[in-house]
Amino acid sequence: MWRVRLTAISAFLLVPLAFAAATFPAYPIKQAKECPVSAENAGLVVGLEPVENSETQENYFHTELAKKGFVPVFLVIENRTSTNSFIFDKTIVSYGISDSTISTPLTESGAGKAIAVSVIPFVGPFAGVKIISDAAQIQQNLMKKEIQSTTLSPGASVHGFLYVPIPRKTARGKITLRVPISKASTNETFDLNLVF
Amino acid sequence: MHRPFYFRSTFAVCLLLLAAADVPMFAQDTPTSSKLPLRVTLVLTPEFCATRMARGSQTSKFGFEVGKAACEEFEPTLKEAFASVTTTSEAPKTGDIQLILIPKFVDVGSTVGMTAFSNRELDVILQWTVKDLSGTTIWIGTVQGSAKHHQGNMFTYKKNLKLIVDDAVKDLASQSAIRMSCSAELRKLSQQM
């Protein structure tokens, strides 16, 4: 009888472990110039690193984003001036195939929303709460790792991911990411183009 | 309730944030007061106040009612950061104001509790755009408000949902006031005006 009780108690104690919140490691921060692709203008440096390896995607996002039709792109922007402030507005970043003039705004493509939907496997009415819980954690991690709009004061930097749509079944071609930057307090804007 | 205590420590929080961030500390950036001597208008459009944020396969009907809570919370909290705050439903073109504050919800993320007693987390991301009367963007900042509460059962779910949304938006408002108070660009501007 004591063995049954012990098993029951052990099982009860192990349940929280099975359903424990997943931990998502932070992606290692690099300096803009250390990234495989970088561009510079007016003292502002942008570095880009696409994370295409499926194991790396699984490690940092707990899902293979390439299979969902996205490539996570790590972006770091550094203001290396000592006097100027710059504005980075994520909502006007766009991308396009390198050989084409077509440029699609990242936000209008609904990248975030599309990923949010695609990470959730199709689950019927009898879906386990665990599956839903895991999917919600993956979504939240994607959101937290995403780069956000900000004002870069002199010497400041910002980093995070953008999720760029790619073909699911065919190999992707070269993509150009256009990052518009404006000087704070003026309407002066310039683009930094990164090809990867 | 906790707001006065919270803002008494704004100065210390500002210093800590600036020290922890990549932002270098310049002599002119040192905050001399927790309130910025600026007259601002907060633009809370009916669309913003009606915002329900959904995530993934969730439909907006069942989303988080963040707009309503934000429209109740933002003005009183931002009054702790600026000398004068008025609220309008559309961006003014003229008036006795110096800056226009425009909030926009960016995203929402939430975990799902395994049982009624397990905690769920809610994160709300909001972008602030600060413009002058001519429409030039002076500053953009993104803040995150977070809260944790029990998921609740079928009887308490709605009540707990309201609690977690209200708490996340309160945190969002406080974080917004701190970020703006600490902004080097806004502090520099307040010295020039």
Domain boundaries defined on chain A:
22-195
| Pairwise CB contact (< 8 Å): A184 & B114 | no
| Pairwise CB contact (< 8 Å): A139 & B109 | yes
- Does any CB of chain A come closer than 8 Å to the CB of residue B139? yes
- Does any CB of chain A come closer than 8 Å to the CB of residue B110? yes
| Pairwise CB contact (< 8 Å): A133 & B142 | no
How confident is the model over A116-155, as pLDDT tens digits? 544 444 444 444 555 666 777 888 888 889 999 999 999 9
Check: complex ipTM more than 0.95: no
Token reading at A51: 């994370």
Percent of chain A surpassing pLDDT 70: 70
Token reading at B80: 């702790």
What is the SS3 assignment for chain A?
CHHHHHHHHHHHHHHHHHCCCCCCCCCCCCCHHHCCEEEEECCEEEEEEECCCHHHHHHHHCCCHHHHCEEEEEEEEEECCCCCCEEECHHHCEEEECCCCCCEECCCCCHHHHHHHHCCCCCCCCCCHHHHHHHHHHHHHHHHHECCCEEECCCCEEEEEEEEECCCCCCCCCEEEEEEEEECCCCCEEEEEEEC
- Does any CB of chain A come closer than 8 Å to the CB of residue B117? no
- Neighboring chain B residues of A146 at a CB cutoff of 8 Å: 107
Q: What's the CATH code, domain A22-195?
A: 2.60.40.3880
| Pairwise CB contact (< 8 Å): B55 & A182 | no
Residue A81 identity: T
Neighbours of B25 (CB within 10 A): 12
Q: Is 3.30.160.150 the CATH number for B3-192?
A: yes
Q: Is the pLDDT of residue B44 over 90?
A: yes
pLDDT of residue B22: 41
Confidence of residue B54 (pLDDT cuts 50, 70, 90): confident
| Pairwise CB contact (< 8 Å): A146 & B107 | yes
How confident is the model over A10-21, as pLDDT tens digits? 544 444 444 455
